[in-house]
Amino acid sequence: MSNRRPELILASASPRRLALLNQIGIEPDHLIPAHVDETPEKGELPRRLAQRLAHAKAVEVRNKARQAGLASESVILAADTVVAVGRRILPKAETMDEAASCLRLLSGRAHRVFTGVCVISASGQARERLVDTRIRFKRLSNKEIEAYLASGEWNGKAGGYAIQGIASAFAVKLSGSYSAVVGLPLFETVGLLNGEGYPVHFNWLNATALPGV
């Protein structure tokens, strides 16, 4: 690799993951969404699924970057989030019925959110982390579930809810990484990027103020 700063490619089209990176002063040079089959393998555990999908997304986007002539100077960042109750993996809700089923299952009980992160260096080396966060929801009334479904916030969200939105009012307790539940564990992500020589602190040193300050 040359002495120039490596470029960062975020393997996602998620506005939530981009906003989390921006929150810590990181602006990816490229956004290249990954399209992988997210169907769990037979008997696959939730934590394994999150790790496998994060890795698969990173590899797919690295291949796309190579075809575009970007890979030799780029660091790839990918992540995937899986919501589970026990061994049961909840879907990324695409219909109101799916979201309603998820919310009724989560109501009044604890669940876990597994977020896998994978970083591939310009040399092709992959480093990975898995973050396990535990959340307990209040017991939800039918009225609360119906109102949340009407909001549409659940659409496309793992487990049928978005912790950074209205559903934050449902969380009695969260033990682990809040940003991981949103979609990208920032502590682990910074560690992985630093380990691959990406200058995480560059924008901090050159900024007059952090966003929102």
Q: List, by residue number, the catalytic residues.
A: 80
Contacts by 23-27, CB closer than 8 A, 24 or more apart: 23/186, 23/211, 24/186, 24/190, 24/200, 25/200, 25/203, 25/204, 25/207, 25/210, 26/193, 26/200, 26/203, 27/203
Give the side-chain half-sphere CA count within 13 A for 54.
30
Distance (Å) of CA 73 to CA 36, 38, 54, 68, 192: 24, 28, 21, 12, 17
* CB contact at 8 A, 112 and 84: yes
* Amino acid making up residue 23: Q
Residue whose entry in the numeric block shows the structure tokens 């919501």? 83
